[in-house]
Amino acid sequence: METQKTALYDYHKSLGAKFVPFAGYEMPVQYSSGIVDEHKLTRSSAGMFDVSHMGQLSIEGSEEIAIELEKIIPIDLRKIKLNQSKYSFLTNEEGGIHDDLIVTKVEKGFNIILNAACKNNDFKIISGSLKNKFKITLHENLSLLALQGPKSSQILEKIISGVSSLKFMNGNKFSYNGEEVYITRSGYTGEDGFEISISNKLAEDLAKKLISQNVKPIGLGARDTLRLEAGLCLYGHDINKSTSPIEANLKWAISKRRREEGGFVGYEKIKSDLNGSLSRLRVGIKPEGKIIAREGVKVFSDDGNKIGSITSGTFGPSVNGPIAMGYVKLNFSKPGTKVFLEVRGKKHEAKISELPFYKKRYVR
Amino acid sequence: MSEKKYSKQHEWVTIEGDVATVGITAHAAEMLGDVVFVELPEKGKNVEKEGQAGVVESTKAASDVYTPITGEITDTNQSIVNDPGAVNKDPEGAAWFFKIKIKNKSELDKLMSKADYDKFAKENPN
């Protein structure tokens, strides 16, 4: 399959981006100043991320959508308020995760943001489940720009008036150059920020305006270090088809009513995990020294038994040290538990850690 | 000190007497991005030409460092272990990796000049 490019490809190039193939797209992994600088800049000021490779799906139709969608997404979609966003997932028959997503209630129905690598399969799952009752569209003509960092609000307010009054995990329609854009206050960095859904035609114009306000472009490299410090999962690594949301420590993303009532795909496994059959848990893991434990590294107990493995690991620029996430047997999941990580044949001491590694600064 | 020589694994070498100093090239450091972790061989270890003799990690990935020369490790640069970012700042100077007692001087003949390496790096960016 030919690699795709986002509407901002040429603009990234002009900004000095280094590209990598990611989920079928040529995406900027970093710009000239490097991942560590980009990471720190996002934490101290504001960074712009092109996340147009992600899927932007809309479902339009009657009030009945919520009832139908609840069969595959385990949150309370009947009670979600207009313009409210929720993190959730598409579950599979085995109680695993097809994809994680953000669903937002809008006037005509729901908007869902999907992972790039999963979006076409998600579209099939969602349209298959909803039959032909509603209008389901995966919008290829829309770009998605994320603006993240403590200065995001004051900067974006200058360009699009009204955005600073949005609450975290809420969105609304705004106007930009005479065109309607949909903006949510959300992100994937542990910082305050926004995600702006805008036509491909206007995306570069907005990107340039942001850059002119001293916003720096940020690549996928820093996006990964930022999200890992914030303790957020990366689909295909920390969660996948065979991890249940309960194992993944994402119980909070299943509404209470849905945990009790079920009525969604994979509920049996999830219910049994909730009722004590849980055997492993996703945790934060902090190596004691400088060693970086990456995906696939085995985790051992103090007495030498294998108790799990790492699913994401890197150097956290704001933590100023190595950080990781992974799954360990339940009785080793308590923060502070001493474990060992086998890197290049040698075992290195580490501790189970609270998540996030870096404290979130969301505006509630 | 001798003229700097370069290997196809993107290491540089300078020679003083029978001791070679080895580091990674500016091109390699640029390709790696921000270096955040360095692991060096132990002093006294015998290493074989093109064998693994260290690890360098960026935020993105881990890469092996190879020795272009066979011999015994006589010294290692602990300052880059403590401050891995130094590898990006001065890869072909202060951020040398290890010193090695040369076993077979003829190995040096196989290494590239700066001009040849620059051409090689351009054609083999990774």
pLDDT per position as a tens digit, A46-59? 999 999 999 999 99
Task: Judge whether residue B2 has pLDDT over 80.
Answer: no
| Size of the A and B interface in Cβ pairs below 8 Å | 41
Per-residue pLDDT averaged across A287-305, rounded? 96
Task: Judge whether residue A362 has pLDDT over 80.
Answer: no
Question: The whole model's pTM is what?
Answer: 0.94
Please, which pLDDT band fits residue A332 given cuts at 50, 70 and 90?
very high
pLDDT of amino acid A21: 95
pLDDT of amino acid A144: 98
Please, which pLDDT band fits residue A131 given cuts at 50, 70 and 90?
confident
- Nearest-Cα residue of chain B relative to residue A36: B34
Both tokens of A232, joined, read 């957020």
Q: Is B18 left (phi over 0), alpha (psi -120 to 50) or beta?
A: alpha
Rounded to a whole number of angstroms, the distance from the CA of B15 to the nearest CA of chain A is: 30
Among residues of chain B, what percentage have pLDDT more than 70?
98
Instruction: List pLDDT tens digits, range A227-238.
Output: 999 999 999 999
**Residues 44-73 of chain A whose Cβ lies under 8 A from any Cβ of chain B:** none
Among residues of chain A, what percentage have pLDDT more than 70?
98
pLDDT of amino acid B126: 63
Domain ranges for chain A, please list them. 9-51+140-229, 56-136, 251-353
Dihedral, A43, A215, B33, A229 alpha carbons, nearest 10: 20
Chain A residues with CB inside 8 Å of B34's CB?
A: 34-37
Mark yes or no for CB contact B36/A29 under 8 Å.
Answer: no
Beta strands in B28-106 (DSSP E): 35-39, 46-47, 52-58, 62-66, 71-76, 98-102
Q: Considering CB atoms only, which of A35, A39, A292 is closest to B37?
A: A292
Q: What is the mean pLDDT of chain B?
A: 94
CA distance A74 to A100: 11
Rounded to a whole number of angstroms, the distance from the CA of A110 to the nearest CA of chain B is: 36
Both tokens of A17, joined, read 């981006």
Best of A37, A290, A319 to disrupt the B interface (most B CBs within 10 Å) is A290
Mark yes or no for CB contact B59/A36 under 8 Å.
Answer: yes
CA distance A103 to A330: 30
Q: ipTM of this model?
A: 0.85
**Host H or E run for residue B59:** none
pLDDT of amino acid A132: 82
Q: Residue B95: CB partners within 8 Å, gap ≥ 6?
A: B23, B29, B77, B79, B80, B86, B87, B89
Instruction: List pLDDT tens digits, range A62-99.
Output: 989 999 999 999 999 999 999 999 999 999 999 999 99
Q: By CB neighbour count within 10 A (0-12 exposed, 13-18 middle, 19+ buried), where does A313 fall?
A: buried
Q: Is the dihedral of CA A78, A81, A82, A83 positive or negative?
A: negative
Instruction: List pLDDT tens digits, range A92-117.
Output: 999 999 999 999 999 999 999 999 99
Task: Judge whether residue B48 has pLDDT over 70.
Answer: yes
Per the CB < 8 A criterion, the answer to whether A3 and A24 are in contact is: yes
Put simply, whether A360 touches B (Cβ < 8 Å) is no
Per-residue pLDDT averaged across A21-39, rounded? 96
Put simply, whether A315 touches B (Cβ < 8 Å) is yes
Per-residue pLDDT averaged across B40-53, rounded? 95
Rounded to a whole number of angstroms, the distance from the CA of A55 to the nearest CA of chain B is: 25
Mark yes or no for CB contact B62/A315 under 8 Å.
Answer: no
Q: What is the mean pLDDT of chain A?
A: 96
**Superfamily of domain covering A251-353:** Aminomethyltransferase beta-barrel domains (2.40.30.110)
pLDDT of amino acid B58: 94
CA distance A254 to A277: 18
Mark yes or no for CB contact A344/B37 under 8 Å.
Answer: no
Per-residue pLDDT averaged across B98-126, rounded? 92
Chain A residues with CB inside 8 Å of B57's CB?
A: 292, 315
pLDDT of amino acid A215: 98
Q: Which CATH number fits domain A9-51+140-229: 3.30.1360.120, 3.30.470.10, 3.20.20.140, 3.30.70.100?
A: 3.30.1360.120
Please, which pLDDT band fits residue A359 given cuts at 50, 70 and 90?
confident
pLDDT of amino acid A361: 67
Put simply, whether A291 touches B (Cβ < 8 Å) is yes
**Residues 223-242 of chain A whose Cβ lies under 8 A from any Cβ of chain B:** 224-225
State how beta strands A216-217 and A47-50 pair. parallel
- Give the CATH architecture of domain A56-136: 2-Layer Sandwich (3.30)
Mark yes or no for CB contact A292/B62 under 8 Å.
Answer: yes
Please, which pLDDT band fits residue B3 given cuts at 50, 70 and 90?
confident
Task: Judge whether residue A313 has pLDDT over 70.
Answer: yes
pLDDT of amino acid B125: 74
Mark yes or no for CB contact B60/A322 under 8 Å.
Answer: no
- CATH number listed for the domain at residues B5-106: 2.40.50.100
Task: Judge whether residue A1 has pLDDT over 70.
Answer: no
Q: Do A251-353 and A9-51+140-229 have the same topology in CATH?
A: no
Instruction: Kindly report the backbone phi and psi dihedral angles of residue A293, in degrees, each rounded to the nearest multiple of 5, phi listed first.
Output: -105, 115
Q: Residue A81: CB partners within 8 Å, gap ≥ 6?
A: A105
Instruction: List pLDDT tens digits, range A174-220.
Output: 999 999 999 999 999 999 999 999 999 999 999 999 999 999 999 99
Best of B27, B34, B78 to disrupt the A interface (most A CBs within 10 Å) is B34
Q: Is the dihedral of CA A49, A44, A249, A315 positive or negative?
A: positive
Rounded to a whole number of angstroms, the distance from the CA of A279 to the nearest CA of chain B is: 31
Task: Judge whether residue A134 has pLDDT over 90.
Answer: yes
pLDDT of amino acid A2: 77
